[in-house]
Amino acid sequence: MALCFAAVDLGATSGRVILGRLADGRFLLEECHRFVHDPLATGTTLRWDADRIFGEVRAGLAEAERRAAAEGGLVGIGVDTWGVDYGLVDADGRLVVQPYHYRDSRTDGVPERLGIDASALYGRCGLQVQPFNTIYQLVAHAGAPEWVDARTLLLMPDLISHHLTGRRVAEVTMASTTGLLDARTRDWSTRTIANLTGLYGLPLDLVLPDLVEPGTILGPVDRSVVDSGAQVVAVGGHDTASAIVAVPATDSDFAYISSGTWSLVGLELDHPVLTEASAQANFTNELGVDGTVRYLKNVMGLWVLTESIHEWTRQGLDVRLVDLLAEASGLPPLVTVVDMADQRLIPPGDMPGRLAAMAAETGQPVPRTPGEFTRCILDSLALAYRTAIREACSLAGRTVDVVHVVGGGSQNTLLCRLTAEATRLPVVAGPAEGTALGNLLVQARALKALTGGLADLRGVAAASSSLVRYAPGDLGLSQSLWDAAALRLARPRPVDAV
C-alpha cells in the first residue's frame, strides 16, 4: 500500500495541492486542487488575499485527504511558496493586515537609500539586490501602525503552516531570501537586525521566530483541516529550494534552472560565495536543503510571456500559447534580444510595450506580432541563462557538464532547445512538478518513509519522472551568433531614446 503525502505548492500567480503516493521507491503525483491567487489592488497598493489563500489550501488538503482515504489518509503535509513576502500576526495568531505583494511599488528606490553599507550587507547575507527583497520591504514598511499589534513576522510558507498547526517558526531556506540571515552561520544576523532596529525602529529582535531546518516536524495538522492527524513538515519552504531537491542529477557537476514565473539559474554549493566580484555580478546565496547553498541569479522568467498574453487578450486578440510557440519556432533566431534583468519587466502591465521600447533603445528591430515578441522573449531568456551559468561557474570556480531544467518551463520545448544551443551544454528537462516533488521527498524522509542524503532523494526523483534530453547543436546556432546578440545588449542607448 502506498504512503500518501500532500504538497502545498504556491507559486507567485497560482497554487496547487498535489497528492504524492510513495510506493516501490517512486512517487506518483496527482493534482487535487488548483487555484489562481491574484493580488488585491487598493489604489496603488498590491497585497495578497491571505484569507482566500488559506481557504483554498484547506479545500485542497481536504480533497487530498479524501483521495488518500483508501490508503489510510495523509501521512504528511508540506508547504512551499514564492520568496520574500511576509505576514504579521498578533498575540492570538491572527493576521494584523493582509501581506504586501512583492510587486508593490513601495520599495522603489529603497535599495539606493538603505542606510547599511552594501558591501558589508552582501558579506553577511550574500543576496542579489532586488527591490522586492524582504529587507527593503521592511524598510518601506517601517512606522506603519500594524507594528503596534504585531507579535510575530511569518514568511509565507511559515504563515500557512502556522494556520495549519499554530506553530510559529522561520524555515531556513525561506529565511535566506530576506537579507536578515547570515549565509555562513544559517542564523539570523544580529548585526543586520540591530542596524534595522536602530535606523528604522523595526522591532525585528522581538518579532522574528526561531529558525528551523528543512525536515523539521512541526506537529499534527489541525483536525478541522484534515482528520487523519497528518504531520506538517517544514520542507524547503522557498519553492526553489524544494525544486532543487528534485533535480535528477547523478553527480554534483550540474547547473540548474528552476523555470516558471521566475527563472532561478545557478549552482548547488557547499559554501556561499561572498566576494566583491560576486556582489558586483549581483549573484545571490540562498540556503538549500542539507546544508547546501543555492548560488544563483534571479532572472525574469515566463512571467514576461504570460503577462504579454494577458495584454494581448486585453486588446481583444485571440492568442494561445501553443500557437505562439509554433509561430516563434519558425521565425529567424536572435533578431531581437532584451535584458531580462531589466527592472521594468517586474510589474504587471503592458509588457509588449516595454519590450518594444527596450528593443528600440538598443537599436534593434522592434517586434510587431505576438509570435515575434514570443521569439524575442525566449531568445532573451536563453541568452540570460547562458550568461548566468558562465558567470556562476567563473565566480564559484566550478565547471558543469549538464543543465537541469525543472518546473513548468521544462515543458517548453523551444526554450529548452534554445538553452542547449546557448549554453553549449546538454539540457535535461524535468520533472515539470519539481517543486512539489522536492517538497514530498523532504517530507517522506522526515517521516522515515525514505532515507539517505540528497543523492538518494534525487534517485527517487529520477525514478518518479519522465525526462527529456536536448543536445546542443540541434538548431545549428553558432556561438558567434549568441556572442553577437550579447554585444547588442551592451550597446549605448541611442541619444533620442535616453
Residues annotated as catalytic are 239
H-only helix segments in 167-274 = 172-175, 190-200, 204-207, 239-245
- Polymer length in residues for the chain: 498
Question: What contacts 316, CB < 8 A, 6 or more positions away?
Answer: none
Q: Is 275 exposed, middle or buried (0-12, 13-18, 19+ CB in 10 A)?
A: middle
Strands 3-10, 74-81: pairing is parallel
Sign (positive or negative) of CA dihedral 411, 412, 416, 417: positive
Decide if 422 contacts 392 (C-beta within 8 A): no
- Residues 6+ positions from 431 with CB-CB distance below 8 Å: 246, 248, 406, 410, 437, 461, 464, 465, 466, 467
Count CB-CB contacts under 10 A for residue 144. 13
Residue type, 295: Y
**Omega before 431 within 30 of 0, i.e. cis:** yes
Helix axes 190-200, 134-141, angle to 10 degrees: 20
Label the pairing between strands 86-89 and 152-155.
antiparallel
Q: Are 430 and 278 in contact (CB under 8 A)?
A: no
Is beta strand 170-171 parallel, antiparallel or unpaired with respect to 211-212? parallel
Neighbours of 129 (CB within 10 A): 17
Phi then psi for residue 133, to 5 deg, are: -55, 150
C-alpha cell at position 230: 497528518
